Chain A
Amino acid sequence: MLEKALKGGPKYWSWIFFLLLIIGAGFVVYVNQLQEGLTVTGLSRDVSWGFYIAQFTYLVGLAASGVMIVLPYYFHHYKKFKGMVIMGEFMAIAAVVMCLGFIIVDIGQPQRMLNIIFHPTPNSILFWDMIVLNGYLLLNVVIGWTCLESERQRVKPPKWIRPLAYTSIVWAFSIHTVTAFLYAGLPGRHYWLTAILAARFLASAFCAGPAILLLVVFITRKVTAYDPGKAAINTLTKIITYAMLVNVFFFLLEVFTAFYSNIPGHTHSLAYLFVGSHGHTELVPWMWTATVFAFISLALLVPPKLRDNQKLLPWALILLVIATWIDKGLALLIGGLTPNPFNEITTYWPTGKELMISMMVYALGALTLTILYKIATDIKRDLGELVEPE
């Protein structure tokens, strides 16, 4: 089926070329990072994880989100999601590819990476994260590819796919839970040290992930005439809305616990993020942007009239994605490491090089996604499920 990715119009090829260009440019910077070390980043002794790991955390959510389509489809026989299942699975593949990419660029000695496998350490959550992420990648590659191939052959997917699909549903929850455990199990990091961190991760994944998926599907619909159907879009939007409500609710629980208890450690990070402390206010405008965007997106999603308005929907989703990205792809990491164990503030901001390398990983994900979606939509077109765009 891969040959489908090699045939395409000029638009397709210029997009691919554009992505390759970004990957190439980012790679040059990455080589520079390999030569000089992570000193090219804005990281420090106090804020030892930053933009890379934050992107990794955010994208694990995107990977897990496909389950919001696969679960209703397999567990509740919600047939309207049939056209989207493969899109969710392929999105998961691209997301995990980016997750692994971000881990690799964050490691100080990448050539020793396999030490995690050579010296398995079950007491480290990172060990389990490696297992669940790679397992999830494998599951989605096998399931997605087999389903698409059988669709192309116009036969029913083989029987063994079902148990695998069920496994992948449970597995999707595990990848985000384990990633939350990376943070939630650390003493002295109060912003992360909360029992509902895994629940918060899942809630934000289940709103942000499908929102990104839906946006990508809208673009795909524009360029290929692939259409998941109105009913499917409406249902997924409802799921996004509920997940976002839960996400915001969970965050407010954290705020209550911190400020009503008034325990200093618990309030410090939140105070630093939302009002600044010791005269440092770098993240304050970001946090309030996220807050405002979150509430506007909810205002556009909660009333059924506005939610079903296809013109407004993309905007609501974009606001939601920005809000959740600021919360999880930026503030969660910085807030967790600030203030440091000495109750002092060391500021962190990603450098240009860090951003370039991040662009490379994102472009790599986009390339993976483009190729997979190209194959999927071409096959659907061959099957007569799509009409050619004029």
Chain B
Amino acid sequence: MKQSRRNFLKFAGLSAAGLCLAPTAAALASGGGGHGKAHAVVNANSKHAKRWAMVIDTRKLNTDEAINALAEVCHHIHNVPTIPGKQDIKWLWEGTYSETFPNQTNNFPSEELEKRKFPLLCNHCETPSCVRVCPTKATFKRADGIVAMDYHRCIGCRYCMAACPFGARSFNFMDPRLHLDMEKINVKFPTRMRGVVEKCNFCVERLAVGEMPACVEKSSGAMTFGDLQDPDSNVRKVLRENFTIRRNPAAGTEPGVYYII
């Protein structure tokens, strides 16, 4: 438990250090080579950003089928079970406009908008209330803006669930393995135990080996993922060219997921 967390922090620290030092990849490669751990936490090709963010084009991605296909990939690679009833675990799911933006509903919405479905996931907020309330630092914000979970430290108090204004967190009320096909799980990603909270992690494990988040890859261009602080990045370009809104800005958490309407 200590080990993986230390690697995690080392990774975060190295990413930050790598950004300051010139040739990032080289710096990380030498740093990562040193400790020779079995799992590839630090990779020469790993992707970095000062502040990861996502833009979702809901003009292109807005049907049940399309969003469920993304959820399926996400849930499969992260070993997220499907549990019937209200104790389900969700990392990525879909909602109507009024569920997604409950404070910005319109009494006469366009027919097209009313039919649209919106992908929902953790917003990896800039000032996340979930991190503020966690009494054990099991939920923490990394240097690159990703709000991550240490499942080994979480005590299951569920304070973070009360604090998240987006309903983005799930609790393992029961052993999640009971609802997983253990033959078909992704052995490269851990399964969780009961009694801990979990949520979308912006695919940190994929970024670490140079891959894009699974949903972004699967979205055929409807989702853009990149560095919000780099004015020349792909997300900034998309944000410059389109009208976007974020969920519940009144909560003051500064979400990192933007929706093109």
Contacts and interface: CB of A to CB of B under 8 A. Distances in A.
Contacts of A38: 156, 171, 173, 194-195
A48 interface: yes
A51 to B, nearest CB: 14
A340 interface: yes
Given A115-B153, A187-B129, A126 B135 contact: yes
A39 interface: yes
Contacts of B252: 187
A48 B171 contact: yes
Given A342-B95, A343-B98, A45 B171 contact: yes
A5 B87 CA distance: 45
Contact of A186 (B133, B167, B174, B196): B133
A109 B156 contact: yes
Interface stretch (B16-24, B158-166, B207-215): B158-166
Nearest to B85: A44
A38 B197 CA distance: 12
B154 interface: yes
The size class of the interface chain B forms with chain A is 35 or more
Contact of B173 (A37, A121, A264): A37
A108 B137 contact: no
B196 A119 contact: no
Interface string A124-135: 111100100000
B64 interface: no
B86 interface: yes
A282 to B, nearest CB: 14
A36 B174 contact: yes
B87 A108 contact: no
A39 B173 contact: yes
Interface in A61-116: 106-110, 112-113, 115-116
Given A37-B175, A45-B167, A109 B87 contact: no
A346 to B, nearest CB: 6
Contacts of B251: 187-188
Given A121-B136, A337-B162, A109 B170 contact: no
A107 B171 contact: no
A242 to B, nearest CB: 32
B137 A121 contact: yes
Contacts of A340: 167
Interface in A239-271: 264-265
Nearest to B95: A342
Interface in B189-219: 193-197
Given A124-B159, A188-B165, A340-B167, A37 B137 contact: no
Contact of B167 (A107, A185, A342): A342
Contact of A46 (B129, B167, B196): B167
B114 to A, nearest CB: 15
A192 to B, nearest CB: 9
B133 A109 contact: no
B252 to A, nearest CB: 6
Contacts of B157: 106-108, 126
A334 to B, nearest CB: 12
A145 to B, nearest CB: 30
A119 B140 CA distance: 13
A37 B153 contact: no
B115 interface: no
Nearest to B174: A39
11 contacts: A37-B172, A45-B161, A45-B167, A48-B171, A108-B156, A109-B156, A109-B195, A115-B136, A126-B135, A130-B135, A337-B162
Interface of B: 85-90, 95, 98-100, 102-103, 129, 132-138, 153-159, 161-167, 170-175, 193-197, 248, 250-253
Given A38-B156, A112-B156, A124-B132, 13 more contacts: A43-B87, A44-B85, A108-B158, A108-B172, A108-B197, A109-B154, A109-B193, A121-B135, A124-B134, A187-B252, A336-B162, A342-B100, A343-B102
